[in-house]
Amino acid sequence: MTGYSRAHTHMPDTLSSLRVEHLAVSFGRQEVLHDISLGPLPAGTTTALLGPNGSGKSTLLRALAGLLPARGAIWLGEHGLDRMASRERARFCAYLPQTLPPTVAMEVLEAVMVARQAGGARVDTATALAESLALLDRLGIGELALRQMNALSGGQRQLVGLAQALVRRPQVLLLDEPLSALDLHHQVAVMDFVQGETRRRGLVTVIVLHDLNVALQHADHAVVLCEGRLLGEGPSLAIVTPDMLRKAYDVRARIEQCSRGRPCVIVDGIV
């Protein structure tokens, strides 16, 4: 599909807003992301990255993190992220992949402390300990602090991975399907937590989601990709529309309000 629409409300381009200009990614001779321009995505907001399987969502997230060679420009305020070496860029951006690396024989608390001490300015052990314990408690997994990483379930590892990303104090938080291994309770808890931390810390959070209702209820902003191209960008309620769902997912759908006034996507069938 070619072409895209934007539906923006006026949002100030603050010093910590994220902007993407003409981003393209190729694997060999095949271009998989085509001329993606986004933003500004202001600090304190959560952006849902949406689209069907194979649309380029994970590729875009990895390109923002600096894990893939890409053409174009990526700005965080006045900082050109695309011009930075990997180590410098990691001071600004924390990336949590969908598939986590193999675990090691290390306690959860130690793993989070290591991430804290590696995240930019060095801190003493007592500070790293206090901050790591506090973050695990806020995530609701304080009881896992002394558990071995290689003894955790997939969902528990996702939660610890989120703690490791946040404890580094990034300005940009990039999460690739962080809900995929979680039960319903923890999906809601994590989205509430991420949205709250994003606002409290003034982060720019970009999160790949498949659940459109989660996106509508927890994301300020939505970006829709299809076949490696930008199909739409803007406030979630303005972008997740029946027309957009038909174009992106080939489904007939409605946006209705539940009894509490919350928007819900109802799919009536495929196109």
Q: What share of the chain has pLDDT > 70, as a percent?
A: 93
CATH number for the domain harbouring residue 90 = 3.40.50.300
Average pLDDT, integer, range 151-168: 93
Does residue 24 carry a pLDDT above 80?
A: yes
pLDDT score recorded for residue 15: 55
The predicted model scores a pTM of 0.92
Q: What share of the chain has pLDDT > 90, as a percent?
A: 83
Domain that residue 192 falls in: 5-270
The domain total for the chain is: 1
Average pLDDT, integer, range 27-52: 96
Does residue 202 carry a pLDDT above 90?
A: yes
Please report, as a single letter, which amino acid is at residue 250: D
pLDDT score recorded for residue 104: 78
